[in-house]
Amino acid sequence: MAAPRLRPGMGRLIEMPAALGRLSRAYSKSHAFREVLQLPKMELTKLVFPLQELQRHLHPDARSDLHLRVFDPSLEDVARAEGFFTATPRNRIEYLSSAVRLDHAPDLPRPEVCFIGRSNVGKSSLIKALFSLAPEVEVRVSKTPGHTKKMNFFKVGKYFTLVDMPGYGYRAPEDFVDMVETYLKERKNLLRTFLLVDSVAGIQKADNIAIEMCEEFALPYVMVLTKIDKSSTGHLLKQVLEIQKFVATKTQGCFPQLFPVSAVTYSGIHLLRCFIATITGNLKTN
């Protein structure tokens, strides 16, 4: 693929303003999004709509290359979605159980979404960021790749269940294939699979195997690009355009819009929450 046409001076690392760092530490508070809405427009866009921020750095003739309008909620929609992820006495968000076999998994009627990705892609860190409005929920994050060895189930109120799957590739559990294939093929209430890809490394060989699995099982899935705080803007934009082309030409079940996120700066986390609330049928966007 030809290199994207970028505005000059795009080789430096993304530098999130200090104000965003302060906000990321305050996200355990339910009123955090009200603070986000007070940010200057450019900072707000970086935090909530990172793809739109990337579009700003494309040459005008190439801006249509980014798929921005497939899921395009309003700020009001994003704010409402925060409520589903905020723990209250009436909206309990909690770890339920772990399982190594599907018949050991909790049998719940509510919709389910699962997160899967290569070892060390930042999956547990991302889930911890999604649950930052429920600080009592313990999501274990380790610096050692392959830390997650079981399927971990989290109840999000009465709305849906979120499943943290073991990482594939390096240090994957010995029974990974049987565990994950069985879950993906047979879990009746699984609505969407979130496949995480490292934004620095791009799609790797192990990721292609996971993509082929989703395609073979005819699963609707979404690609989430993690660790965008570690990518330069130019590199991230190149990865986004290349992966979008891959999705458009090589996949059938993948959602056409990518979700770039950072568990460090919280960029893209609000939008991902809104997408989950929407696809599980709990939020009607305007």
Residue 281, both tokens: 């049928």
Per-residue pLDDT, averaged over 168-181, amounts to 69
> What does the pLDDT read at residue 4?
46
Is residue 127 within 8 Å of residue 115, measured between CB atoms? yes
Distance of CA 16 to the CA centre of its chain: 19
Rounded to an integer, what distance in angstroms lies between the CA atom of residue 169 and that of residue 187? 23
- Least reliable range by pLDDT among 51-60, 79-88, 255-264: 51-60
Residue 228 per-residue DSSP state? G
Rounded to an integer, what distance in angstroms lies between the CA atom of residue 96 and that of residue 153? 5
> What does the pLDDT read at residue 75?
95
Is residue 79 within 8 Å of residue 283, measured between CB atoms? no
CATH topology of domain 31-280: Rossmann fold (3.40.50)
Kindly indicate the confidence band of residue 219, based on its pLDDT and cuts at 50, 70 and 90.
Answer: very high
Residue 28 scores a pLDDT above 70: no
**Ramachandran angles phi, psi of 136, nearest 5°:** -75, -15
Residue 170, classified by CB atoms within 10 Å of its CB into exposed (0-12), middle (13-18) or buried (19+), is exposed
Per cent of the chain over pLDDT 70 is 81
Rounded to an integer, what distance in angstroms lies between the CA atom of residue 140 and that of residue 148? 9
Residue 191, both tokens: 């609505």
CA distances from 186 to 165, 170, 250 (A): 15, 25, 24
Is residue 28 within 8 Å of residue 82, measured between CB atoms? no
Residue 240 scores a pLDDT above 90: yes
Give the containing element (helix H, strand E) for 105: none
Is residue 233 within 8 Å of residue 10, measured between CB atoms? yes
> What does the pLDDT read at residue 265?
94
Spell out the residues 6+ positions from residue 230 whose beta carbon is closer than 8 angstroms to its own: 199, 200
Residue 123 scores a pLDDT above 60: yes
Rounded to an integer, what distance in angstroms lies between the CA atom of residue 183 and that of residue 153? 12
Higher per-residue pLDDT: 16 or 258:
258
Kindly indicate the confidence band of residue 204, based on its pLDDT and cuts at 50, 70 and 90.
Answer: very high
Residue 228 scores a pLDDT above 90: yes
Strand partners, 198: 226
Strand partners, 93: 156
Residue 253 scores a pLDDT above 50: yes
Domains of the chain by residue range: 31-280
Rounded to an integer, what distance in angstroms lies between the CA atom of residue 113 and that of residue 194? 7
Kindly indicate the confidence band of residue 143, based on its pLDDT and cuts at 50, 70 and 90.
Answer: low
